[in-house]
Amino acid sequence: MTEFKFLDYDGKSLFTNCLVYQNEKKVQIHLLPVIHIGNTPYYSELQNYIQDRICLFEKLNLITSDVDLKKSVSSLDDYLELSAQGIEEFWDRYKKLLKKYYKKFLTGDIKSLWKMVKKEFKNVNDESRTIYDNCVKSGFGIQNLCPIQLYLCKIMNLDHQMIAIDYVNDIPQRTNWIHTDLDLAKITENVNLNDLMEEILIDPSPEILEVTLQQIRFVLLNILVMRRFKKSPEASKRRELLADDLIQGLTQEFKEVIKNTPDYLIDNRNSLVEDKILNLIRDHEEIVVFYGLAHMRALEGFLLKQGFNLISKQSFKVFKIED
């Protein structure tokens, strides 16, 4: 077992742990972490646990992709087919600027990392190659994490959270589920996106450049992980590798993981959750935070500072190592 409270691995199965915290006014906050790749029963159990409790949930709305991971998308093939036109249109419009951007602004370490990725795909001609090409054509946007995760689901015989849970027809109808996440469409609703994209590619501010380069590095690292998993011969070995990576990343190498993750993916979204919790605890006695595993360490620290203490734990099996 590990020292990371929200995750357990006994060599046979991977588990996430919901930790319940309570303050002196008996208000309870359930930190319910989720791994985005797991078995369908796992996601059903998480939903059953939430029941009628107020639930803050994540669903990052990225305007940089013409395709959302919706219920109608049931596989990686579906996603790649639906996203193809939007990616090609983006590439046709900005490919000259993108090529110049890659040449002018990428730092030495990112160029070296990209060189490693190119080497991995030198003689590859499958879905992973399509995913890589799409990353290049779309400027390594963060939306590319969706097909990367779907690819991992496919080669491990597992499911994806955004498909196993109906975020289109079911969740929006549940009045106790409160969407608490970045919505870039709302943030940029009065912005000319074409002008913004050209500005980013031609003359980015130091702040925008830093974020963009961090994002490119992050996506490249995930592409390398995707290829490393594919080299494992069996689904069970790949599941074991995923479990080991999660254990390693969230314990010994947590600071390194955070350093390589764009701030808006972790810190900015955590702030949204924290603000919402402070508002809701005035009128509600129980709140569930249904967010990704990587967010839980910081959210736990926030609750402890607010006077909450751990009172209980419940485990959920994400998947067995043996398929």
Residue range 229-254, pLDDT digits in tens? 999 989 999 999 999 999 888 877 66
How many CB atoms are located within 10 Å of the residue 171 CB?
Answer: 16
How many CB atoms are located within 10 Å of the residue 216 CB?
Answer: 24
pLDDT of residue 193: 83
pLDDT of residue 2: 41
Q: Is residue 26 part of a domain?
A: yes
Residue 1 has pLDDT above 90, yes or no: no
Q: What gap in Å lies between CA 28 and CA 56, rounded to an integer?
A: 13
Residue 153: is it exposed, middle or buried by C-beta count within 10 angstroms (0-12/13-18/19+)?
buried
Q: Is residue 279 part of a domain?
A: yes
How many domains is the chain built from?
A: 1
Hey, which residues does 33 pair with through a beta bridge? 291
User: Is 134 in contact with 150 (CB distance < 8 Å)?
Assistant: no
Q: Is residue 2 part of a domain?
A: no
Q: Residue 167 belongs to what domain range? A: 7-320
Residue range 129-184, pLDDT digits in tens? 999 999 999 999 999 999 999 999 999 999 999 999 999 889 999 999 999 998 87
Q: Is residue 123 part of a domain?
A: yes
Q: Is residue 1 part of a domain?
A: no
Residues 6+ apart with CB under 8 A from 48: none
Higher pLDDT, 153 or 72: 153
Residue 27 has pLDDT above 90, yes or no: yes
Residue range 294-306, pLDDT digits in tens? 999 999 999 999 9
Residue 189 has pLDDT above 50, yes or no: yes
